[in-house]
Amino acid sequence: MKARIKELLGTEPSEQHIVIEGWVRTCRNSGNLCFIELSDGSCLSGIQVIAESALKNYADEIRHISTGTAVKATGTLVESPAKGQVVEVQAESIEILGSADPSNYPLQKKRHSFEFLRSISHLRPRTNALGAVARIRSELNFAIHRFFREQGFFQVHTPIITTSDCEGAGEMFTVTALSDKELGKEFGKKNPFAQDFFGRKAGLTVSGQLQAEIYALSHGRVYTFGPTFRAENSNTSRHLAEFWMLEPEMAFCDLAGDMDVAEALIQNLINTVLENCADDLDLFNQFISKGLIEKLETVCRQAFTRMTYSQAIQELEGAKQQFEYPVAWGSDLQAEHERFLCEEIAGRPVIVTDYPKTIKPFYMRQNEDGKTVAAMDILVPGIGELVGGSQREERLELLTARMQEAKLDLEEYSWYLDLRRYGSVPHAGFGLGFERLVQFVTGMSNIRDVIPFPRTPSNAPC
């Protein structure tokens, strides 16, 4: 039987014959025995394989096995006399599949800094922490689909290449099929992309929301989950140029309903990780963020605090703490303000609602006061904004007026306006930054360490 280490560690040992394949974490010689700790990525723990000197390649190969070597071990699963492990493998044969030269294999037994590991993104998933991040990320991904399926949502695949700048912030990466030379010739013309592949300027999506709205207005409850891109020159521990965003969109839903879904989702996802990834979480709890598990359990137990933007500004104005950025009604909340609200004021996640319309995109629904919109951001301790969402403006005249204010070309967005002409209904949705969620769940401080291949300004090595 070819087995994965995760299964073997939960199997009753009865000298059953097994085959395992993996990479060597450590190999220790002791007289006539070699103790090899083998990992196959299926879980945090490795399994101990014991090789006796009677094995035919013992002297030539086994004794010289080094960290990083790929091996195939055949043997029997037996009870382990050693502390800290229930089972071990008594090897009958060990085949070296791929060696790793100890004089230059970068992952030696010592602890490496995350910064160094970023420079070897092809090897870092073999380390304990990055390996655990990858498993938790995968678990969260699966849990998202399960949550929405159980709630009657349909997944919609929204386009990656688009001509609509959803957030209107001018942060779209341009997509072109023109050569450098052709681009040079078109440069400075009124529409330099007229000769391009799509006959107009296209880019990588900053959000699938506008297209998700189309399907919400035919299927009721939908979500899109995929990579999004922002040419935003932010070099921080919570910004990426390519990140994954989860965006549910619901017809017949207002802001209150939107917040309820987001809160239930976050609690459900965290619970799933607490239940299914105990060993990996324990690693983060011990070495990365002390008290993490308790923090996550509390987030699942307590309702999130809800306050309006105006109340949040009052709290910030009354704070004794000095902020780097000034606080004033009308300006956007900075990460330091967001963190203060959830860490110092509420001690839990906070949902801030009803932001000034001047700092929010065109599609958000205007409130009666004419000054604010039915927006909501969910702020979490240690990170700040995890979710941004709103009720959408479903009234044609008001939406048209806001789009004109935002200097959008109404012709280009005629399809979006049609949704308000034909069977318009109240609807709402939000976007959850997937990497920020992985950061929150693992306690990893830099967003570059929770995505396999981070893209940030001046950095896209492979």
**Interacting residues with ligand 4AD (CB under 6 A):** 166-167, 207, 209, 230, 232, 239-240, 243, 245, 247, 385-389, 429-431, 433, 435-436
Q: Which residues of 42-69 are buried (b: 16+ CB within 10 A; e: fewer)?
A: bbbbbbbbbbeeebeebeebbebbebbb
CA distance 209 to 205: 10
Cβ 311 vs Cβ 350: under 8 Å: no
CB of 412 to Mg ion, least distance (A): 23
CB of 290 to ligand 4AD, least distance (A): 25
CA distance 372 to 7: 54
> Residue 430 binds which one of ligand 4AD, Mg ion, none, with CB within 5 to 8 A depending on kind?
ligand 4AD
Cβ 73 vs Cβ 19: under 8 Å: yes
Span of 33-41, 164-172, 297-305, 382-390 interacting with Mg ion by CB under 5 A: 382-390
CB of 385 to Mg ion, least distance (A): 6
Report phi then psi at 449, rounded to 5.
-100, 5
> Residue 433 binds which one of ligand 4AD, Mg ion, none, with CB within 5 to 8 A depending on kind?
ligand 4AD
Report phi then psi at 117, rounded to 5.
-60, -30
Secondary structure of residue 162 in the 3-state scheme? strand
If one asks whether residue 388 binds Mg ion (CB under 5 A), the answer comes out as: yes
CB of 217 to ligand 4AD, least distance (A): 14
CB of 363 to ligand 4AD, least distance (A): 8
Report phi then psi at 93, rounded to 5.
-155, 150
> Residue 40 binds which one of Mg ion, ligand 4AD, none, with CB within 5 to 8 A depending on kind?
none
Q: Which is nearer to Mg ion, 349 or 388 (CB)?
A: 388
> Residue 245 binds which one of ligand 4AD, Mg ion, none, with CB within 5 to 8 A depending on kind?
ligand 4AD
Residues 6+ apart with CB under 8 A from 224: 155, 156, 157, 158, 208, 209, 211, 212, 246, 247, 249
If one asks whether residue 361 binds Mg ion (CB under 5 A), the answer comes out as: no
> Residue 144 binds which one of ligand 4AD, Mg ion, none, with CB within 5 to 8 A depending on kind?
none
If one asks whether residue 381 binds Mg ion (CB under 5 A), the answer comes out as: no
Q: Residues 205, 209, 212, 216: what is their CA dihedral angle, to the nearest 10 degrees? A: -170
Q: Is the dihedral of CA 117, 108, 105, 73 positive or negative?
A: negative
Q: Which is nearer to Mg ion, 209 or 211 (CB)?
A: 209
Neighbours of 221 (CB within 10 A): 20
Distance (Å) of CA 423 to CA 326, 396, 417:
44, 11, 11
Q: Which is nearer to ligand 4AD, 16 or 235 (CB)?
A: 235
Q: Which is nearer to Mg ion, 46 or 388 (CB)?
A: 388
Report phi then psi at 382, rounded to 5.
85, -20
How many residues line the site for Mg ion (CB under 5 A)?
1
Q: Which is nearer to ligand 4AD, 107 or 143 (CB)?
A: 143
> Residue 193 binds which one of Mg ion, ligand 4AD, none, with CB within 5 to 8 A depending on kind?
none
CB of 130 to ligand 4AD, least distance (A): 18
CB of 360 to Mg ion, least distance (A): 8
Q: Which is nearer to ligand 4AD, 38 or 261 (CB)?
A: 261
Angle (deg, nearest 10), helices 292-301 and 278-287: 120
Q: Which is nearer to Mg ion, 203 or 388 (CB)?
A: 388
Binding site for Mg ion (CB under 5 A): 388
